[in-house]
Amino acid sequence: MPTHPMPGRSLVTRRALVDIIRVATLGSYGVTGFAASPLEWFLGRLGFRQPGIHVRLGDGLEIELDLTVAYGVPIAEVARQVDSAVRYALRRALGREVGRLTIHVGGLRFNPGVVPPAVLAATPGAIGPRDLADSGTDVA
C-alpha cells in the first residue's frame, strides 16, 4: 500500500455521496428519519432521489438536510451531532470538506415504549426469571 499520495483523479457518484450522508445522519443520536414533502417521498419510492437530502456540487459541497428528531432530546445538540458526523464521514471517505451544511428539523417523532403484557404465558420446561435468580448466576 503506497504511503504517499498519487496524482490522479477519482469520481464519486452523487448516489454514493448521498449514501455516505444518509448513513452518517441516521447514525446520529436523536435522529429518527428524514422529513420530506409528499412529492419527495414519491420520487424516493421510485428511486430518483433520497427524500430529505439535497446535495449541490459546485465550487464547494453544499448539503441541506430535512430531519425528524425524537421528542424530548435537545434539538440543538442533535443538529451539532449530525453536523459533526456528516463532516467527519465525508472528510474520511472522500478527503473533501463540506462548504455549507444546513439542517432543518421538519418535525418531532414521539414513539412511546410498548407496554409489556401483564401476564407472560409460561412455556412448559422453559427457564424463567425466577430460575435464573435462584441459580445464583450473574446475568448481564
Cα–Cα dist 52/33, whole Å: 9
CATH number of 31-111: 3.30.429
Burial of 120 from C-beta contacts in 10 A (0-12 / 13-18 / 19+): exposed
Cα–Cα dist 107/33, whole Å: 10
What's the rounded mean pLDDT across residues 2-24?
80
**Greatest pairwise CA separation for the chain in angstroms:** 68
Mean pLDDT, the chain, integer: 79
pLDDT of residue 133: 60
Q: Which amino acid is at 78?
A: V
Q: Which amino acid is at 132?
A: L
The residues spanned by each domain of the chain are 31-111
Question: To the nearest 10°, the Cα dihedral for 12, 18, 23, 25?
Answer: 130
Predicted confidence (pLDDT) per residue in 19-71, tens digit? 999 999 999 999 998 887 777 667 666 766 677 888 998 888 999 999 999 98
pLDDT of residue 100: 92
Predicted confidence (pLDDT) per residue in 111-140, tens digit? 655 455 555 555 666 666 666 566 555 554
pLDDT of residue 22: 93
